[in-house]
Amino acid sequence: MIKVFEHFDLAIVGHIKSVLEADGIQTYLKNQYTSGVLGEIPFVEAVPELWVVEDGDVARANALIRGLQLTDEMAGPEWQCQNCGSTVDGVYGRCWNCEQARPQESPA
């Protein structure tokens, strides 16, 4: 399984999950039951995560997510990879270039 998306708003993660599944991609949602208390428990582990079950579907899943053209508000700000310096769209939890995970500290 590979994580393809994460967002603090479960509704957005659920929307993307339904889009991927409509295209025949098997997905797995993590942390869907903890998001309701996110405001009280600021653990990054509580951010809902969308995983793709079959590694072979990841490229297609990423293409679908990109095709959704999420607003900045939905996608979050772009972030800079701390490993290679690439600018990465806010929807991605990993660098497209080197697969470094997004730094978890919240932006100032």
Nearer to Zn ion, 36 or 66 (CB): 66
Considering only 6-14, 26-34, 45-53, 95-103, which stretch makes contact with Zn ion by CB under 5 A? 95-103
Residue 32 binds Zn ion, judged by CB under 5 A: no
Strand partners, 87: 80
Residues 49-88: x where in contact with Zn ion by CB under 5 A, - otherwise, as a string: --------------------------------x-xx-x--
Considering only 2-10, 53-61, 64-72, 90-98, which stretch makes contact with Zn ion by CB under 5 A? 90-98
Cα–Cα distance between 10 and 46 in angstroms, integer?
A: 10
Other C-beta atoms lying within 10 Å of the C-beta of residue 25 = 19
**Binding residue for Zn ion, selected from 21, 33, 97, 103, defined by CB under 5 A:** 97
User: Which residue reads 């297609």 in tokens?
Assistant: 60
Taking Cα atoms as reference points, which of 97, 87, 68 lies closest to residue 7? Answer: 68
Other C-beta atoms lying within 10 Å of the C-beta of residue 29 = 16
The DSSP output letter for 28 is E
Where along the sequence are the contacts to Zn ion (CB under 5 A)? Answer: 81, 83-84, 86, 95, 97-98, 100
